């Protein structure tokens, strides 16, 4: 089928486009290229446009007549969302509403939504099960939860079929190193640590060492981007008319910031100087998925389960794309 992929020029979206093409579908990337890259659009056409532009969205739907939508386009920096929530409400909430209106007008029956574990906030129990109450602690998480609520309302009222995928920390890169992570500014731990290992940054800032965790640093569940892409393709078949379903996407094991830095040292064979910096606002101490098979995606589970292997794919991409030695 034809699938309109908003944010398809970005990190996760581009990997989803590759997975769609390998599964026999045609991805149509819709991206304003503010954070995405045209070089990452390799498996279908590119429509340059913004989800805040209803007329441009309508043009893209009319030209390509997609049968499904994958919605990745969003602002996604937790700290920035705390400092500037208005921009996050506008892009992530109003933009999603624009997309839903355009899809409904075009008669598109299914949508797969890029949600987030940030909708859970600080959970009472870890690992986090799919039925855990959602109480976000930052504006980014609230905007993703608002997107889920809009989807549920549209499913009930208009017969849309939707799946919201709440994933944990995306990591790694295409094993062939054809696409990977390239953000400006970069805020994600693994590419920042690889930057230090490659000599592109002098040191790594560790944001807080006084969290209630074994070594005082935040714990996260790192799920390979190719596993995320595979889940999005599988979710197309899980869309049922009139229903909004959800699934957690994670490995089920958490690693602290210090453990990730140690893994980067092992994989690269290089030093990663680090210093302790103040906590970032909105960061929960620990976010780890319950990795039990999800009823929404019963055939999906993470294939990349070892942190060193995940980091190795990111390192191969990093050296190819940015340089930094053999």
What are the percentages of helix, strand and coil residues in the chain, rounded to 5? Answer: 40, 20, 40
Q: Half-sphere exposure of 26 toward its Cβ, with a 13 Å CA cutoff?
A: 10
How far apart are alpha carbons 244 and 106 in whole angstroms? 19
Rounded to whole angstroms, how far apart are CA atoms 232 and 237?
Answer: 10
Catalytic residue among 30, 88, 120, 140: 140
Full strand arrangement of the beta sheet holding 255-256: 255-256, 219-220, 286-287
Rounded CA separation 101/66 (Å) = 14
What token pair was written down for 126? 């870890």
Burial class (CB in 10 A: 0-12, 13-18, 19+), 104: middle
Q: Are 78 and 138 in contact (CB under 8 A)?
A: yes
Count of residues in the chain: 326
How far apart CA 213 and CA 153 sit, in angstroms, is 38
Nearest to 95 by CA among 65, 79, 118, 72: 72
Distance, in Å, from the CA atom of 105 to the CA atom of 304, rounded to the nearest integer, reads 39
What is residue 28's three-state secondary structure?
strand
Q: Is 88 a catalytic residue?
A: no
Q: Which has the closest alpha carbon to 151: 196, 93, 79, 235?
A: 93
Q: Which residues does the annotation mark as catalytic?
A: 140
């Amino acid at each position: 089928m034809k699938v309109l992929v908003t944010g398809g020029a970005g990190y996760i979206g581009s990997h989803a486009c590759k997975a769609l093409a390998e599964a026999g579908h045609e991805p149509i990337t819709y991206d304003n290229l503010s954070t995405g890259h045209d070089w990452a659009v390799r498996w279908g056409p590119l429509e340059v446009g913004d989800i805040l532009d209803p007329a441009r969205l309508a043009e893209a739907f009319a030209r390509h007549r997609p049968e499904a939508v994958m919605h990745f386009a969003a602002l996604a920096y937790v700290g920035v969302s705390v400092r500037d929530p208005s921009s996050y409400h506008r892009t992530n909430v109003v933009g999603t509403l624009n997309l839903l209106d355009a899809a409904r007008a075009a008669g598109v029956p299914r949508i797969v939504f890029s949600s987030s574990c940030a909708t859970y906030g600080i959970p009472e129990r870890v690992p986090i099960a799919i039925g855990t109450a959602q109480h976000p602690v930052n504006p980014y998480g609230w905007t993703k939860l608002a997107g889920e609520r809009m989807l549920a309302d549209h499913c009930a009222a208009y017969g849309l079929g939707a799946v919201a995928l709440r994933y944990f920390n995306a990591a790694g890169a295409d094993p062939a190193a054809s696409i990977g992570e390239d953000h400006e500014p970069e805020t994600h731990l693994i590419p920042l640590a690889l930057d230090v290992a490659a000599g592109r940054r002098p040191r790594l800032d560790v944001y807080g060492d006084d969290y209630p965790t074994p070594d005082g640093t935040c714990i996260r569940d790192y799920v390979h981007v190719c596993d995320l892409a595979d889940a999005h393709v599988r979710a197309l078949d899980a869309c049922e008319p009139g229903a909004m379903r959800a699934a957690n996407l994670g490995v089920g094991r958490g690693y602290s910031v210090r453990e990730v830095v140690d893994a980067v040292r092992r994989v690269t064979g290089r030093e990663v100087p680090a210093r302790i910096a103040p906590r970032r606002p909105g960061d929960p101490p620990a976010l780890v998925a319950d990795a039990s098979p999800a009823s929404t995606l019963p055939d999906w589970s993470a294939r990349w389960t070892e942190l060193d292997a995940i980091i190795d794919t990111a390192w191969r991409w990093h050296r190819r794309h940015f340089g930094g030695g053999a």
